[in-house]
Amino acid sequence: MSGGRIEFGLGAGWYEQEHLAYGIPFPTNVAERLARLAEQFEVITGMWTTPVGSTFSYAGKYYELGEGPALPKPLQQPTPPLIVGGRGLKKTPALAARFAAEWNVAF
């Protein structure tokens, strides 16, 4: 239907009940949630940009991935547009500048 076109949006999270319902950790410390978000963007962009035939690994504070093939690849190259969601005044805009094509701020 879309021909492989997507936009990938990710934020640090704000609604604890939703996290609990899906078994996703929800640290009460906003700084930790933002640090996790930064690592998540490092992982997803690393996997998307790893050449076919190569492997991707990652060792961060919160996430660790072994030598994986990082497949399947998105059709959009080098990556689909990334959207950072959040209204923080320092860390969120910095993440958007580093990784995203768009910064989405509610209200």
- Is 44 among the domain residues? yes
The Cα–Cα gap between 45 and 27 comes to 23
**Predicted confidence (pLDDT) at residue 27 exceeds the cutoff of 90:** yes
The Cα–Cα gap between 98 and 41 comes to 9
- Is 52 among the domain residues? yes
Q: What is the pLDDT of residues 52-106, one digit of tens each?
A: 999 999 999 999 999 999 999 998 988 999 999 988 889 999 999 999 999 998 7
Report whether 105 contacts 84 (CB < 8 A).
no
What pLDDT does 18 receive? 93
The reported pTM is: 0.89
Domains in the chain, number? 1
Q: How far lies 17's CA from each of 11, 21, 51, 101, in Å? A: 16, 6, 38, 29
Token pair belonging to 19:
């996290």
- Is 39 among the domain residues? yes
Q: What is the pLDDT of residues 31-59, one digit of tens each?
A: 999 999 999 999 999 999 999 999 999 99
- Is 13 among the domain residues? yes
Q: Which domain holds residue 59?
A: 8-104
